[in-house]
Amino acid sequence: MGVLNVTPDSFSGDGTGDDLQRAVDLALSFEDDGADIIDIGGESSRPKSVYKDARPVPSEEESRRVIPVIEALYGRLGIPISIDTQKSTVANLAVMSGASMVNDVSMLGTDSGMADVIAGLGVPLIINHTRTRALYPSGVVAEVIEDLCRAAKLVEHAGLPPSKVILDPGIGFGKTAEQSIDMQRGLSKLVDLGYPVLIGTSRKSSIGKVLGLPADQRNEGTAATVALAIERGADIVRVHNVKEMVRVARMSDAIVRGWSPKT
């Protein structure tokens, strides 16, 4: 999954802002580089505890950013478009415009109507784990699994089939660097639930803490986390540097899931 931030304030410094052509060109290049999904987001998820100027984006502004990009890409991309949003109104507009899955980084916690809207649309939903405070008295892996199961049941009760629920442990979301690393170490326990699992470690602060590097110098650290996530059973890896991480993923898949020649 290639990350396409159409924001002016992405934590990783790769937001395209209002440059529609740049966003379209980047998405098409991701496909050429081997991406299987493009994840388009119009609101930065950078934490307020780190970025003091981080502010919620109104749904109208978020839609203004993402909908033209989705419309411009629909029919040109040969791979699915995912909309990264916490708002049901934006999710609905995005799907109507050509997106075919939704990525909610709030774990259905921002918009109480999200579960019903997604169930009505019938599209796959990525549920990203998050907490307002990094407190896990019973252990981060056990509590992340408990929280995600609860959120999954909520959307399933609304009518979305379990086969369309994708779980994301939320690396860096309401977790210290140590907790994020512990979650990656225990990822196979989340995989054991039977849901498809997505993991997004690309350029995350836990990599920066281990290596002592800024976001734009964390590619090797990202590669290590991608390879190990695949070894532990992850089905989707969400990344910024698509060309390099496609190669890491294919090599990891060859070892873990069996090699076949690339045609």
Catalytic positions, please?
204, 238
CA distances from 3 to 12, 23, 54, 133, 245 (A): 11, 11, 19, 26, 12
SS3 of residue 182 by DSSP = helix
Element (H, E) at 125: strand 125-128
Nearest Cα to 37, choosing from 84, 78, 80, 6?
80
SS3 of residue 81 by DSSP = strand
Q: Cα separation of 106 and 263, whole Å?
A: 38
Q: Are 3 and 239 in contact (CB under 8 A)?
A: yes
Q: What residues have CB less than 8 Å from 240, skipping those under 6 apart?
A: 2, 3, 12, 14, 202, 203, 222
SS3 of residue 145 by DSSP = helix
